Amino acid sequence: MIGTRLPSIDLPLADHAVIAAYLAASGDDNPLHRDPCAARSAGFADILVPGLLIMAQMAEHLRAWPRCQEIVQLQCRFVEPVPVGTRLRCDGRIVATAAVGLTVVRLTAAQGRRILILGEATIRLA
Amino acid sequence: MSARIDMSALRSVGVFPVTVEAGRMRHFAAAIGVIPDEAGPVPFAFPVSWLSNPEIRAALEAELQRDAGIAGDVLPVHLDQSIALAEPLRVGEDYLLSLAIEGPDPRGIVQITGQITGPDARALGSLGLRLALVALDDARTANRTGP
């Protein structure tokens, strides 16, 4: 079981419109995600994708995996800022067993070989 | 940005009523690329959006400003996030979110924790996140000199 991989997918692209929709739905008003001037003044070329938006996409990819009956816990580390429009690939694999009936899945969202978000989920297998 | 040094103790921010409002859940699901379905499971990351509820945000900001001395041009940079749910949340259901805050530590890192309980006071899950409070001048410098 350890080493079993989730299907690798391209996460839905987070462009300006998607980020705007996410900010409206989530209530997040961090200027780095909504204001290009604020992002530029902080040294970025444009707004950044909210890490939570990507984390939410990763969670739903995991939940859609037929072998995942239920996500019990998910933690993500936002390793690097993600510029708007970055194409991200989500991969995952089982790395450990946890308490009875629970399994640990390592998740990544990467641009090429560069991991931008690193996650670890505890799931109940179907 | 200024920060007191003795900020290691966990401080309660309050207990807030929260809900999985159907319209907000639909918009949240659509924004993350999921086909909204009120009969289906609530997006796993949805509870984090409660932290942006006006009364919760105001309480968190007040806590930081009053007890941590945070003010001025500071960017909250999200370092990590955890979500744990003992059972899926339900659309239309009311919950309570108990929030506590720790920090900032000398590096300007704040930890926020939340406990989710159901209407029957059962513990259903938790949230945890760390924010780095970065002075705007520091952010400019870091991003000019970073890799």
What is the domain extent for residue B97? 11-145
- Residue A23 placed within a domain: no
Q: Does the distance separating the beta carbons of B78 and A52 come in below 8 Å?
A: yes
Spatial neighbors of B2 by CB under 8 A, at least 6 apart, are B69, B70, B71
Residues A3-46 have pLDDT tens digits of 999 999 999 999 999 999 999 999 999 999 999 999 998 889 99
- Residue B43 placed within a domain: yes
ipTM of predicted assembly, 2 dp? 0.94
- Residue B1 placed within a domain: no
Q: Count CB pairs under 8 A between chains A and B.
A: 110
Q: How many domains does chain A have?
A: 1
Cα separations (Å) of A111 from A13, A26, A79, A90, B60? 12, 25, 12, 9, 33
Residues B93-132 have pLDDT tens digits of 999 999 999 988 888 899 999 999 998 889 999 999 999 9
Domain CATH number, residue B107 = 3.10.129.10
Q: How many domains does chain B have?
A: 1
Residues B18-76 have pLDDT tens digits of 999 999 999 999 999 998 787 888 999 999 999 999 999 999 988 887 655 555 677 88
Q: Tell me the chain B residues in contact with residue A76 when contact means C-beta distances shorter than 8 Å.
A: 80-82
Domain CATH number, residue A83 = 3.10.129.10
Residue of B nearest to A31 (CA): B75
Q: Tell me the chain B residues in contact with residue A70 when contact means C-beta distances shorter than 8 Å.
A: 88
Residue A9: count of CB within 10 angstroms of its CB: 15
Spatial neighbors of A2 by CB under 8 A, at least 6 apart, are A94, A95, A96, A97
- In this complex, the residue of A53, A72, A75 whose CB is nearest that of residue B32 is A53
- Residue B6 placed within a domain: no
